[in-house]
A and B are shown apart, each in its own frame.
Chain A
């Protein structure tokens, strides 16, 4: 049996090596994507462009504006005087936010009757950034308030310290770098797309060309065929993953905190699950074009959107959460994050391994059943 598997594997490898463009894509582009990804992708919002309409123009209002501009949160790109300009600024995207200080700002503060309201108008199109900018606005105002209060108390001779100070600590990722969180998802995306597409196409191509008939009449069993065909892709996938991890280390200082052995097995299980999906697609497709379309929509889009890669699964409605089970990347990413970012052991994510195996069995079984049905029909 091993002999026949080796024969198929060697044939696949030879075919693959002959295809220089594929080799290029399979090896170079994962790292290329990582680079783009790592540098471009960033939820950290800094230097938010802000425009200021100061209707008060007193030393206190100027102090407030200065406080905001000196923080790294905001960058004041324009100060203006006509209220009509506000709409122009936001519509044209000249600034992401506008700060409007009311006319009697200073006077009202010293009157000490009620809280004084100022307006922050934000470009809400990008909800996530707007949320963060909202937090910044709150934080900036509170810093100012704190200063106001302590100065006022000091002048009045009362000792009144700010009662509660928050001391935040960020575990696993002290600098809150977004890159490290996205790396497992990136690996998942690259692997699943590569494996699902190449496996489904490779099998469908043989079906189209009719060479599958030749294989059917040989003494090769289905399992041997599948394993033999997969071996080159599995090897390449491992190499791809290794390269992505190495590049992440070199460029972004991402270190695998957990066990490499667990990492290896997790990737291996994921490859099996993806392969099962690829086989299923090849069974239900009659042509390469169909196989490719299904493979793309079934692998790339769910892996990007439903897997927890970018958008957290916890925030999704329950129905959608259930549907995230159509992509094995979902389980893979959880396990990978646990290993790479948190450095915890198998006890934390063993369920993901089980899910991956169940996924693989389900699709392999489905493929076998449908395949037999099709052969009977033909």
Chain B
């Protein structure tokens, strides 16, 4: 999983999969989810991210990251 942020547009994107998107849907104002060809979620785009999220910190909990 990868998170990227564009400071110019204040848009944050959560890459859930490396599979390319084939469809999308706006599920809430400023929030668009992307689906792969198999219908699985591949990413989430959040507009005006700095207003919706606290971008000053990033925490994970119980994510099985390799040590």
* Chains A and B bind each other: no
The chain A residues found within 8 Å of chain B, CB to CB, are none
The chain B residues found within 8 Å of chain A, CB to CB, are none
